[in-house]
Structure 1
Amino acid sequence: MIRKLNRVIQDYLRPIRLNLGRKLWDRKDKKYPELIKNNRVDMSRVKSILFLRYDGKIGDMVINTLMFREIQKRYPDIKIGVVSRGAATDIIKFNPHVNIIYNYKKGKESEVASEIAKENYDIVVDFSEMLRVNQMKFINLCKAKINIGLDKDGWNLFDLNYKKDNRKHITDMYKNVLSILGVENPDLSYDIYTGLVVKDEIKRRLRELGNPESFTIINPYAASKHRSFNIDKILEISSKVLKDTKDMLIFIGETSKKHEIEEIIEVLGDRERIKYPTLSGILEVAELIKHSTYVITPDTSIVHIAAAFKKPMTAVYRADDKEDTNSQLWAPNYKEAKQIFSIDLNKKLGEETDINLFNIDEI
């Protein structure tokens, strides 16, 4: 009851806070019209671009890597900075197309923005659909010459505006941004650079596992419990992999799931073919996926990591409806991967679809 009341209060206060935030921060002290021609940036005048990925989403950062590469292919002398936080930062830690990373810290936006402002960035690109007040403040204080935002038509803080079509793949949105920056017909593949230490560590782990000729990775978990496989479905999927293939079966998942996964392995009973290595960080996960034969996952972060390496994969999504085009927007988007769908016919209004209601024979 208290949680529901708090949610109602927050829903009521949110538009009030956002309106107040716009009154305070939706402004620019100086405009640079000479940098814009026909709703495009005059890239001949641009020396630096800053991308804002302060949401900390791993999958989004993986997709973002296509932009860093394509811009530096077209403009090799441009400095590329990225604002990031959390595990998403590891995705670009060794990326040769990123010159500098700024760690975003809630509550310390002014300090980070002050550091960025000293660098005199020509362009800031923001990917937020809805800007929170602290993000408005942050963009304002970065003091870039040109701010580019998603669906920010009518904002004073933004000089240029781009669109996202939810009926198309998310890379279509990135193409729109690249077009504003003078990059046409881009390569839309993703990059993940894991570094020598991680490469050597995963090679060592695989040697410990007997250097399996082939192995299938199962990632049972997603950010929401409604999008995670339940124990019955994990057992069902695992049994099918063990029956239909000669692959070793390797589970990945946060250490908080260790006890559950070990219980599942105990029930399955084949400890020679089923493993659960303790991995340290998202780059070790990525490197293990790179060496895998097949990936099964309901989580789009793992989908996009597998997509970076074009790994054969089954990705499980909830079925779309008129309002929800998640499976189109965040699809694997390459021929080696397939999508299967969970159809929850008993879902009530306001509830999330149960991801476990799919046909196991489709895997």
Structure 2
Amino acid sequence: MNKMNWKFYRPYRDKLVDKKNEILSRIFDKNKKDINLSSSKINKILFLRTDGKIGDYIISSFIFREIKKNYPNIKIDIIADKSLENLLKLNKNIDTYYIINRKSIKDWKIVSKKLKKNNYSVLFDSTEGLKYKQVYLLNKVNAKINVGYNKDDYKIYNKNIKQNNTLKMIEIYKQMLKSVNIDVTDTRYDVPISEESEKNINEFLKKNNVTGKIIALNFFGASRGRKINEENALIIIKRLRKMYDKYKIVILDSPNDRETIYSILEKTDNKNVLFFEKSQTILDSISIIKKSDLVVSLDTSILHIAEGLNKKIMAFYGPKINKNKWRIKEENNILIDYPENRINDVDFEKIFDNLKV
């Protein structure tokens, strides 16, 4: 199918997928009576993190720490997409994690059968979208209380926090916990640090004689419209080198965009622009960010990791996330809003001309 046909076909395909999700979700959307549990009556909690979003997981990371600290008798389990596995391995506050392929209904059926035996007191589902597989899992696991976010139209969530784009997501998470009488106050993120990654990045920086300040630079968001092309990447590097002439730049890895990264490196000053090509996981990027003095990114997962590590940040925000609940704090950071839907329509020369740093 050529690009032109795909452009016209895709909206119809998306509508059919949405309709399928709605019909199948209603089949498993059984009515659950609203009940109230005191925190002392909660034994086991299951968290759904099946959207695979690293940034969302980082923001919610305080939840696991604070529950274990304040309610040590509560067992915490999480079901997640494979993209979170390396982060979950390092979280000592999670008792058991289950990794599934979220596109495989077979995986959902197998894990639902396992989880049903655990007799959960509470299930938290903070994902914004809704797929019928989620409703299927809630139906089969049958926790006493299902807490949802923006799930107003579904009966299977007997606790629901309404959508509110004026609140930061941290406050929404706190409201979800409060709905089952769990109170937390410390909302600092827990960013996992890998000893192996720390060792590898230290060796990489030493090999490249990096002793001064560092900029960690990310060019690639999750969607195609948020991946910076080679031409704009070179403009950004040129302007950053001019603004921060004493800094070294380390480009963060994006496995699907390695070809673009190598092409960028060929066209720029490799003595001051580096890339850790042995990178294996997001944990390597975390260790680079930890060593950095400035993090430049349009990808929200990198932004939230940097925020959790208290780094100075230059963030690029498109129109969909200009002012919403996922936005990082503005204090001491450089937040750049652009009106275009696609990042490569942005005039980066003009943006840097207007920056006041």
* TM exceeding 0.5: yes
**Hey, what's the Cα distance between the residues in 2 that align with 1:12 and 1:86?**
27
Match of 2:75 among 75, 79, 84: 79
Amino acid at match of 1:161: N
Is 1:282 the counterpart of 2:275? The answer is no
Ranges of 4+ aligned residues in structure 1 off by more than 6 Å: none
| Cα distance, 1:328–1:9 mapped onto 2, change above 3 Å | closer
State the secondary structure of the residue aligned to 1:329.
coil
Alignment of 1:20-39 (within 5 A): 20-27=23-30, 33=35, 36=36
| Cα distance, 1:129–1:193 mapped onto 2, change above 3 Å | closer
| Cα distance, 1:17–1:259 mapped onto 2, change above 3 Å | closer
Amino acid at match of 2:23: L
Greater displacement, 142-151 / 306-315: 142-151
Deviations 1:127-170 (A, max 9, x none): 23332112211121112111111123353311111123113322
Q: Would you say how many aligned residue pairs link Structure 1 and Structure 2?
A: 345
Match of 2:21 among 18, 21, 24: 18
Match of 2:233 in 1: 234
Alignment of 1:138-149 (within 5 A): 138-149=137-148
**Hey, what's the Cα distance between the residues in 2 that align with 1:27 and 1:340?**
45
State the secondary structure of the residue aligned to 1:141.
helix
Alignment of 1:163-202 (within 5 A): 163-184=162-183, 186-202=185-201
| Cα distance, 1:54–1:256 mapped onto 2, change above 3 Å | closer
State the secondary structure of the residue aligned to 1:82.
strand
Alignment of 1:29-68 (within 5 A): 33=35, 36=36, 41-68=37-64
Query: Any stretches of 5+ residues in structure 2 without a counterpart?
Result: none
**Hey, what's the Cα distance between the residues in 2 that align with 1:83 and 1:330?**
22
Amino acid at match of 2:78: V
Is the 8 Å Cα contact of residues 220 and 234 (structure 1) preserved in structure 2?
Answer: yes
| Cα distance, 1:19–1:240 mapped onto 2, change above 3 Å | closer
Cα offset, 1:78, TM superposition: 1.0
Is the 8 Å Cα contact of residues 218 and 297 (structure 2) preserved in structure 1?
Answer: yes
| Cα distance, 1:219–1:15 mapped onto 2, change above 3 Å | closer
Cα offset, 1:205, TM superposition: 2.0
Is the 8 Å Cα contact of residues 221 and 227 (structure 1) preserved in structure 2?
Answer: yes
Is the 8 Å Cα contact of residues 295 and 314 (structure 1) preserved in structure 2?
Answer: yes
Is the 8 Å Cα contact of residues 307 and 334 (structure 1) preserved in structure 2?
Answer: no
Match of 2:352 in 1: 360
| Cα distance, 1:288–1:13 mapped onto 2, change above 3 Å | same
**Hey, what's the Cα distance between the residues in 1 that align with 2:330 and 2:89?**
25
- TM-score, L = length of structure 2: 0.88
Is the 8 Å Cα contact of residues 128 and 150 (structure 2) preserved in structure 1?
Answer: yes
| Cα distance, 1:274–1:153 mapped onto 2, change above 3 Å | closer
What value does the CA root-mean-square deviation take over the aligned residues? 2.3
Cα offset, 1:15, TM superposition: 4.8
**Hey, what's the Cα distance between the residues in 2 that align with 1:118 and 1:206?**
48
Cα offset, 1:50, TM superposition: 0.6
